[in-house]
Amino acid sequence: MFEKFFYSLFIILGILIYTIAGSFPQSSGLSPSLYPRIIAIIIMILAFSLIVKSFKSENKEKNFTKDFLKDDGNVRSIIVLVLIIIFAIMMPIIGFILSTFIFIIILMRILNIRSLGKLAVYSISITGLIYFIFVNLLSVPLP
């Protein structure tokens, strides 16, 4: 079920692309709208074929949506994702070092490192190492 939903999203995308591309100005030679439109058509054809194909292998299909949230693991993935997003948002606010430090702790906790000692040691050392290597040694700009 999810598969079909996923691909149909792309059919909609294809239609969107095609329409938006129509507003591009024409020019001599090939116009800017031609290539995107061809791509849009290709995407739609392929997405459609994939939907048809998923009908054929109906039986083998994992029941995606229903069981998706039941699976602990998947919930974990979503949490990690949210964590990453929050991390990215927080960084300009509280600075790289602090947010990295907090992030490592939380992420490790999620991934099952329980002992406080380990958490502390790892987060401090990793944050420190990264700062040292990237800023001092390599002069790489940090976010």
Partner 1 sequence: MDFFELYQLGLPLVFNIQVLFSIALGTFIGIVFGSLPGLTATMGVAILVPLTYGMDPIQGIAALIGVYGGGIYGGSISAILVNIPGTPSSVATTFDGYPMTQRGEAGRAIGISVTSSVLGGLFSIIILGLFAPIIAQYTLRFSAQEYVGVTLFGLSMIAVVSQGSVLKGLFSGSLGLFLGTIGMDPVTGFPRFTMGQNDLLGGIAFIPVMIGLFGISEILIQSAENIKEISISQKIGRVLPTKKDLTKLFPVILRSSILGVIVGIIPAAGGTIANIISYGQQKNLSKHPEEMGKGSIEGLAAPEAANNATTGGALIPFLTLAIPGDAVTAVLLGGFLIHNLQPGPMIFQNNPDVVSAIFISLIVANVFLFTFAMSGANLFAKIISAPKNVLYPVLVILCMIGSYAIRNSAFDIGVMIIAGIIGYFMRNLDVPIAPLVLALILGPMFESNLRRAFILSDNVFYSFISRPISLFFLLFTIILFMYPIIKKFILRKMNS
Give the whole-angstrom CA distance, residue 43 versus residue 76. 32
Give the whole-angstrom CA distance, residue 101 versus residue 134. 15
Positive or negative, the Cα torsion across 116, 106, 122, 113? positive
Please report whether residue 122 would count as binding partner 1 according to CB under 8 A.
yes
- Binding residues among 6-45 for partner 1 as defined by CB under 8 A: 6, 10, 13, 17, 20-21, 24-25, 27-30, 32, 35-36, 39-40, 42-43
Residues that bind partner 1 (CB under 8 A): 2-3, 6, 10, 13, 17, 20-21, 24-25, 27-30, 32, 35-36, 39-40, 42-43, 46-47, 49-50, 53, 64, 71-74, 76-77, 79-81, 84-85, 87-88, 91-92, 100, 103-104, 107-108, 110-113, 122, 126, 130, 134, 138-143
